[in-house]
Structure 1
Amino acid sequence: MRKLGLILIVLLLMSGSCEKEEQIIVPQSGYDWPSNSRSYWPTDGWETASPGGLGIDENKLIKAREFAMNDDLMRSVIIVRDGYIGYEEYFHGGQIDASTNLWSCTKSFASALTGIIYDQGHIENTDQLMIDLMPDYPDFNKITLWNVLTMTTGLHWNEEGPLWVQWILSDDWVQEALERGFRKDPGESFFYSSGNSHMLTSLVKYKSGEYPGKIAKEHLFDPMGIQFTTQDPDTKYTNWQQYLEPLPQSWRTDNQGVECASFGLYLTARDMAKFGYLYLNRGRWEDQQLISEEWVIESTKDHVTDVYERYSYGYQWYLTRIDDEPAFLASGFGGQIIGIVPSLDMVVVLKYEAENPKDPVPGSDHDDMYLFELLVKAAK
């Protein structure tokens, strides 16, 4: 496992007389993790408790609720604290059983699957060259797995428009992405790219011989009590609209039958909360270690700092602080969030209506992040 690798960003000002201080989210001692010895596990369903009984300030919660209600695109909010749902509400037609596209929150699930095949011994460490892991793709050149996980491959990329659709409809998403060329050398800078993320599920299939959806069902979803159905790997897509059709409790695939790492996983808000709870418990679920604690901890460290104002990046997870409490989160287009605050023993899930693919930028004062902050502050 690669040790914490920080990309130091130094800004020289006034002829080198000043330096920009690097912002570290996670202290050297790590998160203040809660105990993962739980009185119950929500495999068969979440238990609930009153907000006040879980130490959630109900006046602050009312403020957050009013903010959520005033957003016509808001669909669901869940707060899990100490293992219990302390607040859950569905807005403007949102429903408890609504299974919708998580968009880029899917990337964090792809990171989890990479951790699973690492735990199985298919990967030695994240310093390995991708060309050694997937030798059928010589264009990987000097890119490491760490570069892919941290969005530092230097890949040229467009997250929307004709080039995005061209990639989506291609026969081989990995090769199509690599043929875009590179804007920077590997490791030089962070640049957000769904093309990077899809290399992860492709790697899972390449090294394990199993489709990622099958591994996810067996090693994640079934143990956590999440309903999930894999897709026919022979499914072909000829237009972007096919990718926008609802696919409840399943996962879209590329034209090789490999699950999309960058978007396309459909789950309910309560399912999202279970995934967040798995990471809050450092990969443990009941008496099973579904993902190694080593991988969970390494995934949620500052690997690339200052990717946006107040944000660092781990292995397909964003890192930030809310009132000095370190948190990590999966973030998807339109406001989808799975936020984990270890020191507060807390998971927050937000779901919004989202039908067009264009990822919001974390840290730029979007309503979803403001609501997330309000909810976290209510638990302090």
Structure 2
Amino acid sequence: MPEFYPPPEKEGGWRVADPKKHGVNVSKLAEAVNYHDKADCTTSHGGALVVVYNGDIIAESYVTGSEGGPQPWIRESCNDVKSSTKSVFGTGVGVFLDEYRDRVNLDTLLVGGSRDESLIPQIWDQPLTDPRKQDIKVKHVISMTSGHASDEPWLAPSQRHHFKGYTGAYQMYEYCFGWWRFEGIPDHHKLLFEPGYGFNYSNFGLEQMALAMRNMTGEMVGPYIYDRVLSEIGMPIELKTNAYRDMVYNDPRELNFSDTPGWGVGGSEECNAYGADRSMSPYGYNTIVGSTFRCTARDFARLGYLWLNEGRWGDKQLVPEAWIKQATSRFKQANGKAHNYGYTFWVQDTWENVPRDCYGSRGHNINDCYVVPSLDLVVMRMGNDNPPSDQRNLFVETLMTKIVEAINR
């Protein structure tokens, strides 16, 4: 295990080392950084890149976008990491399952067969919208195999409607339960497939898992994870105290940056998460776990470093080592198929020139954090522009390949 773990940024933070000290090919590393900085997805709305090797930052870059994003984008700029938030949540799920192992595990039913059996009894306040929901297990929602639809209507794209026979607030959990919908947008009244027998990337099973955690712990997910993990690795207190309710997205790019860290909250009055109408709901507030985690690139790299070190920080095992290994391995569906996804982490084992043990978090606008254990490497990239998927994938794979080439000399 490493001897150095960075203190909070206000106390000195990461060490910055000359790449030569670590035997890195300096010209190839500069080529990788230049590739990042000059890419259209960086120059348009800005970007940040932090490369941590052997526990030191060996490359770091901040680019101010010509069309938007933080002005200027500097080391202290905070950006919403979008779906990389899911991996923060997944880290907390591992802690939760260990702490409450006498009451819940991966095979525990989330909805269950009745209110009394359910981790989320709130869903039973009205008739269940699809009987297959009773078969959703904890492992299904965190592996994207629960059958929930994908679309995230952050901008409230059309008129809201209750399904026939259903009532309630136009709020986050009522939406997740399938009680209301947006006109013309996929909804959650019916599942797409039998839980465990397919893969569909979605926020909405995760949000219900977050509700189950709040029900059991008695506190919102963000503060729960902050106190047990994020504070211990030196991340700022605002990730606990700045539980902002207004999603500031104002266009399809869903830009959400600030000088201040924070983690969004949804579910009730003043909240507009997933296009909610800011009304009051009896189900109350909770941290949004599919997106809205906002911090600096340096601070998110701390999470990458925690994952790299299998949940250990200094002399504390903050997250069970076994959980990190399991979460970053391909999840096998009931039919034997295995997508390149574990429990809230992407498994990047198909890139030709990157070691097959690479895994990471991925978020809209290329807010990604990749870990390569065999190289002792963490790469954190933030941005605010999301090119088509083929261009996105090419950009990320090329960037990672160039960094790996620099380290391998």
The answer, yes or no, to whether TM exceeds 0.5 is: yes
Structure with bigger RCO (C-alpha 8 Å, 6+ apart): 1
Q: What is the one-letter code of the residue matched to 1:351?
A: M
8 Å contact kept, 1:251–1:266: yes
| Residue aligning to 1:39 | 3
Query: What do you get for the CA RMSD once the two structures are aligned?
Result: 3.0
| 1:33 matched residue in structure 2 | none
What percent identity do the matched residue pairs reach?
23
Q: 1:265 aligned to 288, 293, 297, which one?
A: 293
Q: How many residues were matched structurally?
A: 335
Aligned to 2:363: 332
Specify the code of the residue in structure 1 equivalent to 2:264: R
Query: Deviation string for 1:158-181 (max 9, x for gaps)?
Result: 2357469969x9654344123121
Q: Name the CA shift for 1:273/1:164 in 2 (closer, same or farther; >3 Å).
A: farther
Gaps of 5+ in 2: 65-71, 112-117, 162-167, 179-187, 268-283
- Residue aligned with 1:199, SS: helix
Q: 1:82 to 1:303 in 2, by over 3 A?
A: same
Equivalent residue runs for 1:79-118 within 5 Å: 79-92=51-64, 93-118=72-97
Task: Give, in angstroms, the shift of residue 240 of structure 1.
Answer: 5.7
Give distance in 2, aligned partners of 1:316 and 1:328: 11
Contact 1:330–1:337, Cα closer than 8 Å, also in 2: yes
The SS at the match of 1:325 is: coil
Q: CA deviation at 1:365?
A: 2.8
Match of 2:27 among 36, 59, 79: 59
Q: Which residue of 2 aligns with 1:76?
A: 48
Distance of 2:141 and 2:135 partners within structure 1 = 11
How far off is 1:366 after superposition? 4.2
In 2: Cα distance, 1:134 partner to 1:342 partner: 37
CA contact (8 A) 1:304 1:313 kept: no
Deviation at 1:213, TM superposition (A): 1.8
Give yes or no for contact 2:17–2:57 (8 Å, CA) kept in 1. yes
Separation (CA, whole Å) in 1 of partners of 2:57 and 2:247? 42
Q: Secondary structure at the match of 1:183?
A: coil
Residue type of the alignment partner of 1:43: P
Q: In structure 2, do the counterparts of structure 1 residues 91 and 364 end up closer, same or farther at CA, with 3 Å as the change threshold?
A: closer
Q: Is the 8 A contact 1:232 1:257 kept in 2?
A: no
Measured against aligned partners, the alpha-carbon deviations of 1:187-232 in whole angstroms (never above 9, x if no partner) come to 1111011112222322221221111121122112211111132357
Partners of 2:321 and 2:146 in 1: how far apart? Answer: 26
Which of 320, 327, 347 aligns to 1:299? It is 327
Deviation for aligned residue 1:46 = 0.7
Please give the alpha-carbon distance, in whole angstroms, between the structure 2 residues aligned to 1:56 and 1:285.
Answer: 25
2:227 and 2:248 map into 1 onto residues whose CA distance is: 30
Which one is further off, 146-155 or 315-324?
Answer: 315-324
Which residue is 1:141 aligned to?
134
Native 8 Å contact 1:231 1:252 kept in 2: no
| Structure 1 unaligned residues grouped into runs of 5+ | 1-35
| Distance across 2 between alignment mates of 1:362 and 1:126 | 33
Matched AA of 2:399: L
Offset of residue 145 of structure 1: 0.6
TM-score (norm 1): 0.79
Change (3 A) 1:47 1:166: farther
SS at match of 2:121: coil
Q: Determine whether 1:185 maps to 2:194.
A: yes
Is residue 383 of structure 2 the alignment partner of residue 352 of structure 1?
Answer: yes
Change beyond 3 A, Cα 1:244–1:63: closer
